[in-house]
């Protein structure tokens, strides 16, 4: 790691220590982000109905430590279980402002270790705020190992991530995976969204348990018209009384009767909760567009690190030799 830091000093000083968070954001994307309520894009299910254990066994809550003395964790994002230690969520759940460009240079498309601290992926627990349990008696709590996302991610484009837990989840009646969409389909009808949300529009109306809601899906052509831009990377829903609001980005949008070859009896994951545009409905990252990325589900960090170690050793040796002689 010291070698990598030294390379920043020797070759990439300006790039490594410049934290321009908007350096890769186009004017169009900035405008789109402003319209999509960047201050409130943590969506929550609004006016949903309470879930029971086993209704959505694939639901994962990404919980963050909010009270160290009482060991309490609160849900800050959702995710979807697709394999024993693999989840699909939103990239912006692990986005850090002001992160050095050194991290971006050496670990592109990978969340920093700092963004994983004090966070757990929790399955089989319906509570919004819960006390950490080392056993699996009160849900299954798993520490996060790593999180990857598309290298060209800039919210809201490519807002999808694959998270890996250090230990696998144990499948049972309350915890289990759901397949993710492979085929691009112009979805319609109603689809299921789940999250820890509100029972009303006021900030105080936050539910204590997981909520479910059926949302009306908007055809892709209509979605593009409503948002005045191509929305091929998204699945959109109509604005309604029952919707997503503030809180559970990264959570699942599940549809049935899609014709997707991966669909199971519980449906198939077609979207990842990304955000909400005021008066225009909600938008979800279209999972089928990233099937290859999710399926691969890894990045060659070791290979990159090994290459850099060899390269830097040679570079430093040459610099040392130059100054010595």
Nearest to 8 by CA among 86, 105, 114: 105
User: Does residue 4 form part of some domain?
Assistant: no
Task: Classify 27 as helix, strand or coil.
Answer: helix
So what's the pLDDT on residue 195?
87
Token output for 42: 């943590």
User: Does residue 124 form part of some domain?
Assistant: yes
User: Does residue 74 form part of some domain?
Assistant: yes
Phi (first) and psi of residue 40, to 5 degrees: -135, 35
User: 223 CB contacts (<8 Å, ≥6 apart)?
Assistant: 231, 234, 235, 236, 283
User: Does residue 101 form part of some domain?
Assistant: yes
- What's the total number of domains in the chain? 1
Q: Per residue in 110-146, pLDDT tens?
A: 888 888 989 999 999 999 999 998 887 779 999 999 9
Q: Per residue in 162-197, pLDDT tens?
A: 999 999 999 999 999 999 999 999 999 999 999 886
User: Does residue 301 form part of some domain?
Assistant: no
User: Does residue 160 form part of some domain?
Assistant: yes
CATH number of the domain within which 211 lies: 2.40.10.10
Task: Classify 41 as helix, strand or coil.
Answer: coil
> Which domain, by its residues, includes 163?
37-296
User: Does residue 324 form part of some domain?
Assistant: no
Q: Per residue in 152-165, pLDDT tens?
A: 999 889 999 999 99
User: Does residue 7 form part of some domain?
Assistant: no
pLDDT-derived band at 17, boundaries 50, 70, 90: very low
Q: The pTM is what?
A: 0.78
């Amino acid at each position: 790691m010291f070698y990598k830091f030294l390379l920043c000093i020797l070759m990439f000083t300006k790039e490594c220590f410049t934290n321009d968070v908007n350096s890769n954001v186009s004017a169009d994307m900035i405008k789109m982000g402003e319209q999509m309520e960047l201050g409130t894009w943590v969506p929550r299910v609004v006016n949903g109905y309470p879930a029971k254990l086993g209704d959505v066994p694939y639901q994962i809550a990404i919980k963050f430590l909010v009270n160290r003395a009482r060991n309490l964790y609160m849900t800050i994002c959702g995710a979807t279980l697709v394999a024993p230690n693999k989840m699909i969520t939103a990239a912006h759940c692990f986005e850090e402002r002001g992160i050095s460009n050194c991290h971006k240079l050496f670990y592109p498309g990978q969340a920093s270790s700092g963004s994983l601290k004090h966070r757990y992926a929790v399955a089989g627990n319906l509570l919004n705020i819960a006390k950490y349990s080392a056993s699996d008696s009160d849900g299954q709590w798993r520490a996060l190992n790593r999180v990857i996302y598309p290298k060209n991610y800039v919210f809201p484009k490519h807002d999808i991530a694959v998270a890996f837990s250090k230990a696998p989840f144990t499948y049972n009646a309350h915890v289990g995976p759901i397949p993710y969409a492979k085929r691009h389909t112009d979805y319609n009808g109603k689809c299921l969204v789940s999250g820890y949300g509100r029972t009303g529009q006021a900030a105080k109306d936050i539910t204590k348990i997981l909520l479910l809601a059926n949302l009306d899906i908007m055809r892709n052509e209509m979605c593009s018209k409503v948002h005045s831009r191509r929305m091929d990377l998204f699945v959109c829903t109509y604005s309604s009384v029952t919707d997503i609001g503030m809180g559970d980005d990264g959570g699942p949008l599940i549809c049935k009767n899609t014709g997707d070859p991966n669909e199971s009896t519980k449906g198939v994951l077609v979207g990842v909760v990304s955000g909400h545009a005021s008066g225009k409905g909600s938008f979800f990252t279209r999972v089928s567009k990233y099937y290859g990325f999710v399926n691969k589900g890894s990045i060659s960090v070791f290979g990159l690190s090994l290459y850099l170690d060899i390269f830097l050793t040679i570079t430093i040796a040459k610099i040392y030799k130059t100054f010595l002689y």
